[in-house]
């Protein structure tokens, strides 16, 4: 027996049920992240309902001879390349080991100076990834919104622009934290 599920929330629910052993009769799962499967996905150029109706009509009018699984035991050769697989290096700082070690040290220094919130506002998923991009010349320290804020405050001659920022993004100083702790203690 098979089960076809579409939509991320539905997939999570079905996988949890499967993990809990509530679907012992299911032999095959078809999981589509997009609602209504790929037809309802973000790359569908027309209304997903219209596209789904067209697909159903195509299936109904398709000749039976075309509606079958191939009995050919060997897949076509275009699927496999006769060339051996070669590893391609990922995230290599530099081909020269000494230069790579210097870049690694720069990354470590940058990570210490970045806020460490991993907010992603700069476009990198983590502060460490931003530091790697900066060292590789793919990004700038000003891409970090917190670093940019400090630089703008310095350039504008403003002592502190925290009052203009939403609460979660304001810088907290030790005196304010002590005062807040004293107020919260009985």
SS (H, E, C) the chain: CEEEEECHHHHHHHHHHHHCCCCCCCCEEEEECCCCHHHHCCCCCCCHHHHHHHHHHHHHHCCHHHCCCCCCCCCCHHHCCCCCCCCCCCCCCCCCHHHHHHHHHHHHHHHHHCCCCCCCCCCCCCHHHHHHHHHHCCCCHHHCHHHHHHHHHHHHCCCCCHHHCCHHHCCCCHHHHHHHHHHHCC
pTM over 0.85: no
| Position 169 pLDDT exceeds 80 | no
- 123-167 confidence digits (pLDDT tens): 898 999 999 999 999 999 889 988 887 777 777 776 555 665 666
User: Could you tell me how many residues make up the chain?
Assistant: 186
Q: Alpha-carbon distance 132 to 109, whole Å?
A: 11
Residue ranges per structural domain of the chain? 2-67, 97-184
The dotted CATH code for 97-184 is 1.10.15.40
- 105-129 confidence digits (pLDDT tens): 999 999 999 988 888 888 898 999 9
């Amino acid at each position: 027996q098979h089960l076809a599920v579409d939509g991320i929330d539905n997939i999570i629910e079905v996988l949890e049920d499967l993990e809990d052993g509530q679907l012992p009769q299911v032999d095959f799962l078809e999981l589509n992240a997009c609602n209504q499967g790929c037809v309802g996905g973000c790359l569908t150029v027309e209304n997903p309902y219209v596209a789904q109706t067209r697909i159903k009509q195509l299936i109904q009018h398709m000749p039976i001879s075309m509606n079958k699984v191939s009995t050919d035991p060997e897949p076509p050769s275009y699927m496999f390349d006769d060339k051996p697989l070669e590893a391609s290096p990922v995230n290599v700082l530099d081909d020269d080991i000494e230069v790579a070690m210097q870049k690694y040290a720069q990354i470590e220094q940058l990570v210490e100076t970045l806020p460490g919130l991993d907010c992603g506002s700069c476009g990198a998923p983590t502060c460490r990834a931003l530091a790697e991009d900066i060292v590789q010349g793919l990004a700038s320290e000003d891409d970090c919104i917190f670093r940019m804020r400090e630089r703008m405050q310095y350039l504008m001659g403003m002592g502190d622009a925290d009052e203009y920022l939403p609460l979660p993004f304001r810088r907290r100083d030790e005196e304010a934290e002590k005062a807040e702790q004293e107020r919260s203690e009985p």
